[in-house]
Chains A and B, each alone.
Chain A
């Protein structure tokens, strides 16, 4: 099977242009080679469900911000984790909020991990590297 060797994309759901640019740059500095798909709000993220249903490759991991325009990240998470087929896609919350209520709600809704975005860009690059190493290289998710 040749599909096995194709790297799965990472779906990045991020509305803030600075955060989006920095996250893409952080991933670009590491060369694991997973393409990064972008959704700029919650509604765009949910549009991906229809694309996956029509055969688009599933992402290795979804990186999901919480505070998003239109549909917030926790609602996106709820809908993905309620989906019969796509709930097994790993979802990593990547957000500025370290508030306990967000953490708890995210895990209750089935988030696979919760990472608070570091302000220090050096640490942010380490986070990007760890995410990609763990969720795209070490971890095996069903396709």
Chain B
């Protein structure tokens, strides 16, 4: 289509030049002709001049008519082409939306199946091992009881993985309710909840988020902060005088929240990888986990229009940053 299109300025200049040339020719040629025909007859000359003007007007009108008609016709064709293109685009958008919706529904059905169907056999494994431990314990030796215990901890690990995968897919599917939220009350609640975790008592947590607000989804933010807090607790617990500081800095239209611990830290070459799902830097027996926690943080923060990153050095603690819209 575009190769047929000429430049409008050039085309207009071409038409006008043609028109001016024609008019000049008309003026000189027709005047000579009239003079030749009428001679010295003043009345005849004046009448012929009038007719000549009328004829000129007629010719110009016809030419104008042809030009305007051509322009309008061309405009109509391009408008029709444009609206056809628009309709085609709209159709494609509708198709893509339908494809996306169907993919989303499939994902939902998949998570639902994960939630429902993967847990049933796990319940079986856990249930029967525990019944064995409860009812047949005296017929098992220590090794047998140890093996059953191992089966049950495998189940617990698998269960934790399923729950985390579900939480991960739920963030994707949930509709966000973004509004202005006071961050300190959520942080206080989360810090309060850690009381159920006996190992976490030795860690001192200070939280300086008074008056800090962000435009976030409450559940999404709570999920992100909870996972950062659990992460910090996990990796600082074994340290001498473990402590965690939570604070925030104002960054104009953003707020920068940080969770800083004095735990074991990590090598900065892994600073991106730690936010990937199922990525772990430690052996499960040293630091248990599913490798989903920080991926949850990243997904939740990204969905709320924020970003997350971490700074650390081995043995020198780690600081996790969440930049959120305000």
- A interface residue numbers (CB < 8 A to B): 16, 18-19, 22, 25, 66-67, 95-99, 117-122, 124
Contacts of B117 in A (CB 8 A): 96
Closest Cβ–Cβ distance, residue A36 to chain B (whole Å):
16
Alpha-carbon separation in the docked complex, A81 to B2 (Å): 67
| A25-B131, A122-B130 known; A117+B123 contact, CB < 8 A | yes
Contacts of A19 in B (CB 8 A): 120, 123-124
* CB-based nearest B residue for A117: B123
| A120-B156, A121-B130 known; A22+B124 contact, CB < 8 A | yes
Closest Cβ–Cβ distance, residue A84 to chain B (whole Å):
32
Q: Per a CB cutoff under 8 Å, which of B112, B119, B131, B166 touches A119?
A: B119
Q: Per a CB cutoff under 8 Å, which of B112, B120, B129 touches A16?
A: B120
Q: Per a CB cutoff under 8 Å, which of A22, A98, A99 touches B123?
A: A22
Alpha-carbon separation in the docked complex, A119 to B156 (Å): 8
Q: Name, among B117, B126, B128, B166, the residue most crowded by chain A CB atoms within 10 Å (CB to CB).
A: B126
Q: Per a CB cutoff under 8 Å, which of B116, B155, B159 touches A97?
A: B116
Alpha-carbon separation in the docked complex, A67 to B109 (Å): 12
Contacts of B120 in A (CB 8 A): 16, 18-19, 96
Contacts of A118 in B (CB 8 A): 123
Asked if A119 and B121 make an inter-chain contact with CB atoms under 8 angstroms apart, the answer reads: no
Contacts of A66 in B (CB 8 A): 116
Alpha-carbon separation in the docked complex, A95 to B119 (Å): 10
Contacts of A119 in B (CB 8 A): 119, 122-123, 126, 155-156, 159
Contacts of B156 in A (CB 8 A): 119-120
| A18-B121, A119-B155, A119-B159 known; A124+B127 contact, CB < 8 A | yes
The reply to whether the CB of B30 lies closer than 8 angstroms to some CB of chain A is no
The reply to whether the CB of B302 lies closer than 8 angstroms to some CB of chain A is no
Asked if B123 and A124 make an inter-chain contact with CB atoms under 8 angstroms apart, the answer reads: yes
Closest Cβ–Cβ distance, residue B254 to chain A (whole Å):
30
The reply to whether the CB of B189 lies closer than 8 angstroms to some CB of chain A is no
Contacts of A98 in B (CB 8 A): 115, 166
Alpha-carbon separation in the docked complex, A16 to B129 (Å): 18
Closest Cβ–Cβ distance, residue A44 to chain B (whole Å):
19
Contacts of A97 in B (CB 8 A): 112, 115-116
| A119-B159, A120-B156, A121-B130 known; A67+B123 contact, CB < 8 A | no
Asked if A96 and B115 make an inter-chain contact with CB atoms under 8 angstroms apart, the answer reads: yes
Closest Cβ–Cβ distance, residue B108 to chain A (whole Å):
9
Contacts of B126 in A (CB 8 A): 119-121
Asked if B116 and A96 make an inter-chain contact with CB atoms under 8 angstroms apart, the answer reads: yes
Alpha-carbon separation in the docked complex, A121 to B166 (Å): 21
Closest Cβ–Cβ distance, residue A114 to chain B (whole Å):
14
| A119-B155, A120-B156 known; A18+B116 contact, CB < 8 A | no
Q: List 23 A-B contacts (CB under 8 A).
A: A18-B124, A25-B131, A67-B116, A95-B116, A96-B115, A96-B119, A96-B120, A97-B115, A97-B116, A98-B115, A99-B112, A99-B115, A118-B123, A119-B122, A119-B126, A119-B159, A120-B126, A120-B156, A121-B123, A121-B127, A121-B129, A121-B130, A121-B131
Closest Cβ–Cβ distance, residue B129 to chain A (whole Å):
8
Alpha-carbon separation in the docked complex, A31 to B166 (Å): 36
Alpha-carbon separation in the docked complex, A99 to B169 (Å): 11
Contacts of A95 in B (CB 8 A): 116
The 4 closest A-B pairs by CB, nearest first: A18-B124, A121-B127, A121-B130, A22-B127
